[in-house]
Amino acid sequence: MEQKFEAIVVGAGPAGCACAYSLAQEGLQVLVVERGKFAGAKNMWGGVLPGSSLAELIPGFREDAPIERHVSRRRISFLSQESSVSLEFRPARYSHPPYNDYTVLRARFDRWFAHKVEQAGAIVATGLEAEELLRDGDQVVGIRAGGDEFAADVVIACDGVNSALAQKAGLRGKLSPSSVKQGVKEVIKLPRSTIEQRFNLTDEEGIAWEFVGACTRGMPGGGFIYTNKESISIGVIVELESLLQNQVNANDLIDDFKSHPVVRDVIKEGQMVEYSAHLLPSYGLSIMPHLYTGGCLVAGDAAGLVLGTGLILEGANFAIASGVAAAKTVKRAKQMGDFSKQSLSYYQSLLEDSFVIKDLKTFKQAPHFLKNHRIYATYPELICNIVDRIYTGDGTPRKRLWQLAREEMKGKLTLYQLIKDLIKGKGAI
């Protein structure tokens, strides 16, 4: 071991870059190890970046970062096989700065973030995979990567949902198919003018559009479309266990999704320029790994820090916030000269006091509630059928809404099931 670092960060995603940037800003010697050929090469998200946590870390990032568009509208659509019913949210504050949410492309954004880390003084080594943790007794003291050994006071594992380092540190076991979701995404190139015309956007405006229903064939999950400057990010996210049980390929789901009438028209004549697949944590607090041990912390997706409520899917903000919390813990440990498990437990306290764990606690019942197949099969179809009948004038006497609902529910949904789902939903989301 030729050089000892004060901190080694494994993974150059939002959590890893946030941690490394914060540490390097304080003058610590930091090494970032990223197995991709460049930061962002192996990373994926749907495309929306909440800017609040990043703005605290890098004030004015909006002027420098490779942002595609600011999200001026939020839309959710319930899909049957041929129809859709949509709700759209467009408050006045979304139309003027400071904006809160942005669409980004990870390949560009992560490279920019990693460059910021290098400018702050850290070393970013790409194409290098962390293979093993080095130990001195129970204390983690570095990593082995690319056949070389690198020593450090602390290792921060930000290596994604299926974190090998978190397992090797003894912080969690192997993930089960029921605790993760499979995300599949395509980036479809379209002219900027075409995107703005089809989505009724102006200037730098963008839309975040989520879908529930036929896009996942009734399996737990959903679809999404996010607008970029000259492309559209489109994809589906589905519980892995359901894909395996139903013997469905996620690629077939995205093809079905793209052929749905409401989606087909907005992506027509587009050219696919990027494809990616990724696992996402979906287990919440129930089986969250231990977040620290002697000489090692876990942050971002590796720590399962993703919030999914059915209405909200948030991971980037949690990743950045956890990376900053990890950096604060490391700086405190350095001041104390103590990187023991007890010292690093401060990380847990910081997350407990932040919005990260508080939000996960508030919605701790959501992962279980969202396994209800009726959310993805029965209810979207009912909504579409009821609205269709409301707006169909065929010369026959019209019926009240509750009558239409009762007729459509017959044989599909009992009143008991509806009430039960409403009660569980109230406690979960």
Instruction: Lowest mean pLDDT of 27-36, 47-56, 375-384, name the range.
Output: 47-56
Q: Which helix (H) or strand (E) holds 113?
A: helix 106-120
Three-state DSSP at 35 gives coil
Name the one residue in this structure whose structure tokens are 């279980």. 368
Q: Which domains does the chain have, with CATH numbers?
A: 4-65+104-174+285-353 (3.50.50.60), 178-281 (3.30.9.90), 369-428 (no CATH)
Structure tokens that stand for 47 in this block:
């495309």
Tell me the β-bridge partners of 150: 143
Mean pLDDT of the chain: 92
Query: In which band, very low, low, confident or very high, does the pLDDT at 97 lie, cut at 50, 70 and 90?
Result: confident
Q: What is the pTM of this model?
A: 0.93
Residue 425: its pLDDT value, please? Answer: 92
Question: Does 381 have pLDDT greater than 90?
Answer: yes
Q: What is the mean pLDDT of residues 378-402?
A: 92
Determine the pLDDT at residue 296: 98
**Residue 1: pLDDT over 70:** no
Phi, psi angles (nearest 5°) of residue 3: -140, 140
Identify the bridge partners of residue 111 per DSSP, sorted by sequence position. Answer: none
Residue 284 scores a pLDDT above 90: no
162: confidence class by pLDDT, cuts 50, 70, 90: confident
Which of 179 and 236 is assigned the larger pLDDT?
Answer: 236
Per-residue model confidence (pLDDT) at position 2? 59
Q: What is the DSSP string of 374-398?
A: GGTTHHHHHHHHHHHHHT---SSPP
Question: Parallel, antiparallel, or unpaired: how do β-strands 296-298 and 221-227 relate?
Answer: unpaired
Residues 6+ apart with CB under 8 A from 410: none
Instruction: Give the residue with greater pLDDT, 363 vs 95.
Output: 363
pLDDT band at 281 (very low <50, low <70, confident <90, very high): confident
Residue 211, strand partner residues: 77, 223
